[in-house]
Structure 1
Amino acid sequence: MKDVHVGPAENGWAVEVGGKADRTIHATQEAAIAAGNERAKRDKVELLIHGRDGKIRERNSFGHDPRNIKG
């Protein structure tokens, strides 16, 4: 499974999984994050939230956590 990315798009905010082929557009960042959370939880992958500058500002893991940290 591929990670879920939320980031700015031409006409709103996008939720992408593996590129533009699997992409949905949302009017607000809040709506995109909610949709991304649902998808990441369902797929048990990481959610990466990008700011307007494209840099990752937050990440959440829902199943497969690549870090080996307990707690």
Structure 2
Amino acid sequence: MSRNERHVVKNDDGGWDVRKPGSDKASAKLPTQADAIDRAREIVGNSGGGEVVIHGRDGKIRDSDTVSPGNDPNPPKDRK
């Protein structure tokens, strides 16, 4: 079973893309990184949960976010 994930990456036009790994085409093209992150969370959530991987302007992974019911590799320690 492959992981359900989308990557938020800078595009050549100055905006941000939501991409599925291995895909030649962006799932979405948006003007801001915040908009792209929101759209990536929506896409992943609608397909059963998974990971949103956020890249910085330099292309390096900056953060990731697990969308329920995905499997968080680093769950929070305290369960208050």
If the TM-score is normalised by the length of the shorter chain, which range does it land in? 0.7 to 0.9
Equivalent residue of 1:39, what SS? Answer: helix
Give the letter for the 1:47 counterpart.
Answer: V
Deviates more, 1:61-70 or 1:44-53: 61-70
Query: If the length of structure 2 is used for normalisation, what is the TM-score?
Result: 0.72
Deviation at 1:65?
A: 2.1
Deviates more, 1:21-30 or 1:52-61: 21-30
Deviation at 1:41?
A: 1.7
Q: Percent identity?
A: 30
Q: Which residue of the other structure, out of 35, 38, 44, is the alignment partner of 2:39?
A: 35
Asked whether 1:46 is paired with 2:51, we answer: yes
Deviation at 1:49?
A: 0.4
Deviation at 1:2?
A: 3.0
Number of matched residues? 71
1:43-67 deviation line (CA, Å, top 9, x unaligned): 2110000001111111011233262
Q: Which runs of 5+ in 2 are unaligned?
A: none
Asked whether 1:56 is paired with 2:61, we answer: yes
Deviation at 1:30?
A: 1.4
Give the letter for the 2:59 counterpart.
Answer: G
Give the letter for the 2:71 counterpart.
Answer: D
Q: Is the contact between residue 4 and residue 44 of structure 2 (CA under 8 Å) also seen in structure 1? A: no
Deviation at 1:3?
A: 0.8
More strand by share: 1
Deviation at 1:10?
A: 1.1
